Structure 1
Amino acid sequence: MYQDKEVINQLMRLPDIGGRMPVLFIGHGSPMNAIEENEFSVTWKQLSSKLPIPRAILVISAHWLTKGTYVTASQKLQTIHDFGGFPQALFDIEYPTDGSPLLAEQVQHIVRSTSVQEDMDWGLDHGSWSVLRRMYPLANIPVVQLSIDYYKGGEFHYKLGSELSALRNKGVLIIGSGNIVHNLRMIDWKNMDTDNYAFDWSIESNELIKKSILDRNFKVLVDHRGLGHATKLAIPTPDHYYPLLYTLGLVDQKDEIEIFNDKYVGGSLSMTSYLFGRYL
């Protein structure tokens, strides 16, 4: 798809937008947030009105784990219902946005730490469309997903994120979608409806990571395994944590940091989300 010396990439020839697009890490939580009106989904809906209108969106979702790194390169993207046991209304949801082969090509071009391969079959999993259908319900902004190479460690993902930085100047909104505290095996189902209910280790780990982010001490977060016992419980597997590292790799010293949806669900899930950059 990409030929280094021959392809003139139109996206990168576009003029800079006169500033840098913000970067988002969004705790997406349950797929039901796609159809339920709750404080999390309402915040997503309000968020887009405060942001510059993107030319395109690049999402790194916790739900596309691969060996190697891939980018969606098709013009049309299927809505993937990658879950089970939920109401039919959730399976009926479609998010019929276009893909962007042009943006996919540019991702392949600017990432140098690894080879990014095109993927013509993957679409948008719920880590992407559950949030995007709230933020951009008209589905009128092209979207590309970048996969997470699950066989690589935190430093790899943090560096790869930093290599995407130039896209911020071209009007591309980059979103990492996961959850910082994400231990589904330890969810307290009896307290799912209890507002902001959390185990002590959930709070300890979430606050530790929050402090490191606010202090801009990102490097300490690259290896989550060294953050202590509480964080080992909060991040038993790194799939939902890695999207945060991509976003942190994109942050520069001038970016303001804002926290939103800073709440817990079921004891062992945090919805804590971050905006890096500025609102309109």
Structure 2
Amino acid sequence: MKKMPVIFVGHGSPMNIIENNTFREGWREMASRLPRPKAILCISAHWFTHGEAVAMNDKPETIYDFYGFPEELYEIKYPAPGAPALAKEIAALSDDIQIDSNYGLDHGTWSVLHTMYPHADIPTLQVSVNADNSPIENYKIGQLLSKFRDEEVLIIGSGNIVHNLQLVDWNVTNGFTWADEFDNYIKQAILNGRHEDVIIYSNAGESSKKAFQWRDHFDPLLYVLGASEKDEPVQVFNDERTLGSISMTSYIIG
């Protein structure tokens, strides 16, 4: 069995769950290019914790961690089974990884999987983004997780490379110049296997100062890069910025 690829998905607004747009089409295309996994391990921007955690339960609940959206969104369920045996293996990687028996699947995970794997029949769990870690430390956690690629586990990072809600402009359909610059800096680094330039993202210059206020949506990419090899092939999807300050750019690596 070949090593399972790893992916990063720019998930954007919860409205992408119900809108028929190019982003959802991109997610469908990504799924069509992947071998079917035995399990899915998702690092979602919306589980941003002090310390590292892995969710372990048999039937993870669908979490609606957003407000003020159409009622239709709150009626969607994503009843994928959990992966408790995998969760135990992940927790065994380090004494610093805690088990959380209550956390389910937040919208950073199920909003994307609802399109990619609509039958919700693949065991799925989440690993949190450690808010206390430096970029290199979260990259190294990704390196620990990489072993599960050999066990047909699909590792997904779900966030947004550019995610500055304070600067969102609802009248803009593309990206601000600085958002394009930062997203392209990251893309060129990934395509050329320069993971260190992603870890030290401030090397992008002035654009890095506006790209995000917190690293919750950026760091899932670091976990994914840590789980990948620098010389693996890269496919780019949804290479777009929207609302001025949100990047939807997504990747399959491997």
Q: Given the two structures, how large is their TM-score scaled by the length of structure 2?
A: 0.97
1:256 to 217, 233, 247: 233
How many residues align structurally?
Answer: 254
- Counterpart of 2:213 in structure 1 is 236
Percent of pairs identical after alignment?
Answer: 46
Stretches of structure 1 that go unaligned for 5 or more consecutive residues are 1-17
SS class of match (2:210): helix
- 1:55 aligns with 38
Q: How far does the alpha carbon of each residue in 1:116-168 deviate from its partner, in whole angstroms, 9 at most, with x for none?
A: 11111110000000000101111000001001110111011000001111100
Distance in 2 between residues matched to 1:205 and 1:47, nearest whole Å: 23
Matched, 1:177 2:154: no
Which residue is equivalent to 2:252?
275
Q: Residues 138 and 223 of structure 2 are in contact (CA less than 8 Å); yes or no, is this contact kept in structure 1?
A: yes
- Report the equivalent of 1:125: 106
Gaps of 5+ in 2: none
Point out the structure with max Rg over C-alpha: 1
Match of 1:155 in 2: 136
Q: How does 1:106-117 map to 2 (within 5 A)?
A: 106-109=89-92, 111-112=93-94, 115-117=96-98
1:52-201 map, 5 Å: 52-109=35-92, 111-112=93-94, 115-191=96-172, 194=173, 197-201=174-178
CA distance in 2, matches of 1:166, 1:86: 38
CA distance in 2, matches of 1:85, 1:225: 34
Give 3-state SS (helix, strand or coil) of 1:205's partner: helix
Equivalent residue letter for 1:86: F
CA-CA distance at 1:253 after TM superposition: 4.1
Deviations 1:80-116 (A, max 9, x none): 000111000001111001111001011112x33x521
For residues 223-246 of structure 1, the C-alpha deviation after alignment (integer angstroms, 9 at most, x for no partner) is 334432211101221110000000
Measured on the aligned residues, the alpha-carbon RMSD in Å equals 1.2
Matches of 2:183 and 2:203 in 1, distance apart?
14
AA in 2 matched with 1:142: P
The superposition leaves residues 5-34 of structure 1 with CA deviations (integer Å, 9 ceiling, x where unpaired) of: xxxxxxxxxxxxx11001000000001111
1:207 aligns with 2:188: no
3-state DSSP of counterpart to 2:120: coil
